[in-house]
Structure 1
Amino acid sequence: MKSVSLASMQTNTPLRVLLHGANGRMGQALLRLSSSREDLQVVGAVSRKVGQRVIDGVSQFAAGELGGTPDSDVVIDFSLPEAFDALLAHCVEHGRPLVTGTTGLSDAQQAALDAAATRIPVLWATNFSLGVAVLVDMVERAARALPGWDCDIVEQHHVRKLDAPSGTALTLGEAATRGGATPRYASLRAGDIVGEHTVQFATLGERIELIHRATDRDIFARGALHAAAWLARQPAGRYRIADALG
């Protein structure tokens, strides 16, 4: 089922990457950063519409042309929910591991990811920063160690970001909830802030603040490339960014 050649799994041969959502901000960052990595090679880029058929040596495909994309060892997706179903079905059919940062997925689409994970490795995250992955773990452990403390999550982003709380804030809140806390949220939109998340635990006479600040959007693309290189060699299952650390 899986179209992974023996050569591509050798350490001296780049893993073949299919990029879905290539025209977006993340897609463009992934294309740019992957070109400097020797272990990964983008063999195809999928967008809603295609102008040139080859850009910088990478074949371009429209969203409706998934069936004609080249064999790949892993797929990276940063697109839209309406394009997600066809891509997931394609990955399952061809046995391709899927790293996806597409947000706004419905409950049914999340359930489809769970079902797909019985056949292929899948990794979905709201934030691909490796630092945030560590922060999520720290928040859960802090919440478990500090029962009864107030838990507040404050997130700040640029003025163009519409959703609030951010997906990352909600992920941090889920971690706090798993640890037994009841998080509250506050959102700020100002200037060109890339992303800042503060998780505060407070009680009488003391408080703890756990903070992550992103100053460069490339960190998210680097995290996704790191996850793809790791996921391509994993068995079927549903994974988190934290699983790819260490």
Structure 2
Amino acid sequence: MEIILVGACGKMGREVARGLFDGMHIAVSVDLRSHCKNISDYRGEADVIIDFSSHTATEETLTYAVRRGLPCVIASTGQNSRERAALTRAAAHIPVFYSENMSLGIAVLLESAKAAAEIMRDAEIEIIEKHHSAKLDSPSGTALMLARELLSENGRIVTARNGDEPRAGHDIGISSVRIGNIRGYHEVIISNGKETLSFSHEVEDRSVFARGALSAACFIIKKEKGLYGMYDLVHLK
């Protein structure tokens, strides 16, 4: 499998290059610090694209992928509404894999929390996320994804509480911590006032994200056009 790796010189790009599965090769490393600075400059052979650069590159990467008919794994986070719309548009032409978190463990956490929330229908839900002090976005894309997936129809996602406004029962609150060198911690707490369940996931090694992206690449090259995510990978749809 020949991979176009976008963001190749970043922390996660280097993790992907180190963690290649058997039979995988980097066809070209795209990065401002590499000899190939723009994906549109590459005209060689490739089977799939993995983009671990920045959400700001999403549209350019997808445009190139559609033009060449290549499956694409978007592993960056923080996409705005315009960039999310680009994912949907591209998926009408090629297979696109996108997830706010490339860890298989987060997918398991979400499925477990969904099952618990379905059983404890009137329960309150809160999310705590912790990351290193240099992380720029808050709350994390993963925390927002978890909240969106667990949110009831008439609930809101609350990311900053202050004052004395009471908690609305269907809201999901997200609390963010930025300190030290924490690679990534997410906890979903579900309580009905009589019993409380807590589901947590902690990243101990960034290589889990690289492994998830490489697994997504293996998955996506076998698919028809459409938008896929971690749920599809875990359940092998």
Pairing 1:2-21 to 2, within 5 Å after superposition: 15-21=1-7
- Which gives a bigger RCO, structure 1 or 2 (Cα 8 Å, sep 6+)? 2
Q: Secondary structure of the equivalent of 1:163?
A: coil
Instruction: Select which of 78, 81, 84 maps to 1:110.
Output: 84
Pairing 1:113-152 to 2, within 5 Å after superposition: 113-152=87-126
Task: Specify the alignment match of 1:46 in structure 2.
Answer: 30
Identical columns (%): 35
CA contact 2:3–2:26 (8 Å) conserved in 1 = yes
Task: Specify the alignment match of 1:240 in structure 2.
Answer: 229
Task: Number of aligned residue pairs: give it.
Answer: 220
d(CA) in 2 for partners of 1:119, 1:47: 25
Pairing 1:52-201 to 2, within 5 Å after superposition: 60-63=35-38, 66-177=40-151, 182-201=171-190
Letter in 2 for 1:167: G
Task: Specify the alignment match of 2:159 in structure 1.
Answer: none
Q: Secondary structure of the equivalent of 1:228?
A: helix
Q: Secondary structure of the equivalent of 2:128?
A: strand
Give the stretch that moved more between structures: 98-107 or 111-120.
Answer: 98-107
Q: What's the CA shift string for 1:49-70, capped at 9, x where partnerless?
A: 43xxxxxxxxx4111x523242
For residues 33 and 69 of structure 1, do their structure 2 counterparts lie closer, same or farther at Cα, with a shift above 3 Å needed?
farther
d(CA) in 2 for partners of 1:237, 1:176: 23
Letter in 1 for 2:147: G
- 5+ residue gaps, structure 1: 1-14, 51-59
CA contact 2:3–2:25 (8 Å) conserved in 1 = yes
d(CA) in 2 for partners of 1:69, 1:112: 22
Q: What's the CA shift string for 1:118-154, capped at 9, x where partnerless?
A: 1100011111000101112222222222122110100
Q: Secondary structure of the equivalent of 1:61?
A: coil
- 5+ residue gaps, structure 2: 156-169
Give the stretch that moved more between structures: 132-141 or 195-204.
Answer: 132-141
* Cα root mean square deviation, aligned: 1.6
CA contact 2:58–2:74 (8 Å) conserved in 1 = no
Q: Secondary structure of the equivalent of 2:136?
A: coil
For residues 178 and 30 of structure 1, do their structure 2 counterparts lie closer, same or farther at Cα, with a shift above 3 Å needed?
farther
When normalised by structure 1's length, the TM-score is: 0.84
d(CA) in 2 for partners of 1:140, 1:29: 31
Q: Secondary structure of the equivalent of 1:62?
A: coil
Letter in 2 for 1:189: R
CA contact 1:27–1:78 (8 Å) conserved in 2 = yes
CA contact 2:73–2:98 (8 Å) conserved in 1 = yes
Q: Hey, which bits of structure 1, 4+ residues long, moved more than 4 A?
A: 178-181
Give the stretch that moved more between structures: 207-216 or 131-140.
Answer: 131-140
The reply to whether residue 202 of structure 1 matches residue 188 of structure 2 is no
The structure carrying a bigger strand percent of its residues is 1
